[in-house]
Amino acid sequence: MKRENIEKAYKLAKAEYEELGVNTDAVLAELDKIMISLHCWQTDDVGGFEKEGAELGGGGIQATGNFPGKAKTIAQMRDDLDKVLSLVPGRQRLNLHAIYGEFGGKLVDRDQIETKYYQGWINWAKKRKIGIDFNCTCFSHPLADDGFTLASKNVKIRKFWIEHTKRCRAISADIGKQLGTPCIHNIWIPDGSKDTPIDRFGLRQILKKSLDEILSVKYPKKYLKDAVESKLFGIGSEAMVVGSHDFYLGYAVRNNMMITLDNGHFHPTEQVGDKISSILQFVDEVLLHLTRGVRWDSDHVATFNDEILLIAQEIIRANALSRVNIGLDYFDASLNRIGAYVVGIRAVQLAFLFALLEPNRMLLKYEESGKNFERLATLELLKTLPYGAVYDYYCLKKRVPVGRDYINEILKYEKEVLSKR
């Protein structure tokens, strides 16, 4: 797109929003503060690099598709991530799983991992001035084959995963210390039952004890922030998931820690956007994993849809940006993986931009005055205002492709790099 046209369109958009009392320059300054944690596993379909040719196994999740160009080495993954970062405005973060260490061809089991295996990632992030978040990996391992890890009644299995998660937290603290920004360590486990269990209480009691032991080691919050993540069901855990939303919500509130809300981990009729204002009454922060579930937790690429928009609106309306940590979590192997990232990141940014452009003082005044027609009419009119022109201008200012231009950039990378793997 021509610079002249982008600037002209922005000038007109700015004037329209000014009539509503919204300063678009101030909005873009606020948008620029929002960082999105990019999930590294979109590049390789959640395979990891513990061994050559590693693939996702178990956990009640799966990556579908076989689009050419999957990252097969850490070097390829970093090249892909650099390309993604060059195509989106703003400064983001990186989200790593424990299976993405640099193990030098050795088999390092998960109860033996140390910071040294992730030092390359720390150095990579330091050069790019971005933070890193981290996750224990409690799937794709023989000791997770029966569907239980931290809630396992087998003491040997449970101790293995407790040690793994302890080490992941220690690594996370080291990452945060070295990068000068807190590393969020998220605990998600697949533990659950395919058919109706008899001892739900016992399994949840075991999980609580495991978490208590793991979290008994304290680290400064300036280095490490802990989060726990629930799920409604997964493949092989249709009847019951030990770490349900009720379980983790109670645990997070009691321990004043973050709960992770993945909008694919709830019943399709539930809205994560509606949960945020409730949960923030009782905990300091929340972590979001944004995705797009189609009928179940299918982890389709996030798009600018009603669900993502409501999440953004609720955060902005609650003035809670400083208390919400935003990450992506999807893995679609059916299309260009670089494109999957860029579409998702831009969609989330657009949702937050739309929310920031709303004249919330005006809308709240209508609401508190009982002017329901005026509130509804204004909300509908906002849908046709030129927020796209504002986003185009933001991309121009941050020197990244505007509009459709990023599509050609990705196709060029596919031809020159991805197709040759």
First and final CA of the chain: distance in angstroms? 32
CB atoms near residue 121 (< 10 Å): 21
* Helix spans in 327-386 (H): 337-356, 360-368, 372-382
- Residues marked as catalytic: 188, 229, 231, 262, 265, 289, 297, 299, 329
Q: How far is CA 22 from CA 26, 354, 387, in A?
A: 8, 12, 12
Of 317, 394, 307, 318, the C-alpha closest to 351 is: 307
Enter the tokens of residue 299: 């982890």
Q: Helix 272-279 vs helix 306-317: angle between axes, to the nearest 10 degrees? A: 20
- C-alpha 265: how far from chain center: 13
d(CA 284, CA 223): 16
User: Tokens 């329209």 belong to which residue?
Assistant: 16
Of 45, 43, 70, 74, the C-alpha closest to 421 is: 70
d(CA 163, CA 112): 8
